[in-house]
């Protein structure tokens, strides 16, 4: 089933929460809009934009699930102020995708695209973290549809909205561009340890102008 690709650093990381967060038992369902119906024969995952070779990359559901599997144990911090700690996420590390479909050297950010045109922008360094993973499972069990099946992005060092449910592709970008929630008042970076919840908290350099 693969090897762990990252882990929270020590017991302190499991017990300490970012400012303003509370420990959550269980996993609440939070999302905007309806739960999409999964149609495996129509599903595909795409990499496009500023790729190193100028080409687009595409995987069917069977092809994507056949990619090397790994796990990462990490917390999830929701901007609504709950934190779920010590979950094991299983799936395809973002670094695997970056190796198969490398970005141009000019790429600084990515836009992660999901069902219904939902999007979330990330700095390339956050996307490429060894703890960022396209998850298909949590604690060994397949994700439910409400929690993002067949694929969700988990970026543990950022608030959970930065890791969309129902992911369908990634766009490599040579300049930053705000995603769905970032255009609607959420912080462009979303670091929970700096409590970057809302756009009014942004400092120069945090993101493009609204």
pLDDT tens string 122-176 = 999 999 999 999 999 999 999 999 999 999 999 999 999 999 999 999 999 999 9
Indicate the pLDDT class of residue 2, thresholds 50, 70 and 90: low
pLDDT in tens, 45-92: 999 999 999 999 999 999 999 999 999 999 999 999 999 999 999 999
More confident residue, 16 or 191: 191
Residue 46: which of 64, 26, 24, 23 has the closest Cα? 64
Total structural domains within the chain: 1
Domain holding 70, by residue range, is: 41-201
Is 111 a domain residue?
yes
CA dist 112 and 16 (Å) reads 29
8 Å CB contact between 185 and 119? no
Indicate the pLDDT class of residue 3, thresholds 50, 70 and 90: very low
Residue 156: which of 181, 122, 188 has the closest Cα? 122
Q: 61-72: buried (b, 16+ CB within 10 Å) or exposed (e) per residue?
A: beebbebebbbb
Indicate the pLDDT class of residue 27, thresholds 50, 70 and 90: confident
55: exposed, middle or buried (C-beta count within 10 Å: 0-12, 13-18, 19+)?
exposed
Is 13 a domain residue?
no
CA dist 110 and 166 (Å) reads 17
Whole-prediction pTM value?
A: 0.90
pLDDT exceeds cutoff 60 at 9: no
Is 17 a domain residue?
no
Is 28 a domain residue?
no
Is 194 a domain residue?
yes
CA dist 52 and 36 (Å) reads 32
Residue 96 three-state SS: helix
Is 32 a domain residue?
no
CATH of the domain at 86: 3.90.420.10
Is 8 a domain residue?
no
Is 146 a domain residue?
yes
Share of the chain above pLDDT 90, in %: 86
């Amino acid at each position: 089933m693969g090897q762990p690709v990252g882990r929270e650093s020590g017991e302190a990381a499991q017990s300490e929460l970012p400012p303003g967060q509370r420990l959550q038992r269980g996993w609440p369902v939070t999302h905007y809009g309806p739960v999409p119906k999964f149609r495996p024969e129509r599903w595909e995952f795409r990499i496009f934009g500023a790729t190193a070779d100028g080409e687009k990359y595409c995987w069917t559901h069977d092809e994507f699930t056949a990619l090397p599997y790994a796990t990462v144990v990490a917390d999830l911090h929701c901007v609504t102020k709950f934190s779920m700690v010590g979950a094991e996420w299983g799936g395809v590390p973002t670094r695997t995708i970056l190796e198969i479909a490398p970005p141009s050297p000019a790429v600084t950010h990515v836009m992660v695209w999901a069902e219904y045109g939902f999007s979330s922008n990330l700095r390339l360094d956050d996307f490429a973290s060894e703890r960022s993973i396209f998850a298909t499972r949590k604690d060994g069990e397949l994700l439910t549809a409400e929690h993002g099946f067949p694929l969700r992005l988990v970026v543990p060092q950022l608030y959970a909205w930065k890791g969309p449910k129902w992911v369908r592709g990634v766009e490599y970008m040579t300049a930053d561009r705000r995603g769905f929630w970032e255009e609607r008042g959420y912080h462009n970076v979303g670091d929970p340890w700096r409590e970057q919840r809302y756009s009014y908290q942004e400092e120069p350099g945090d993101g493009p102008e609204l």
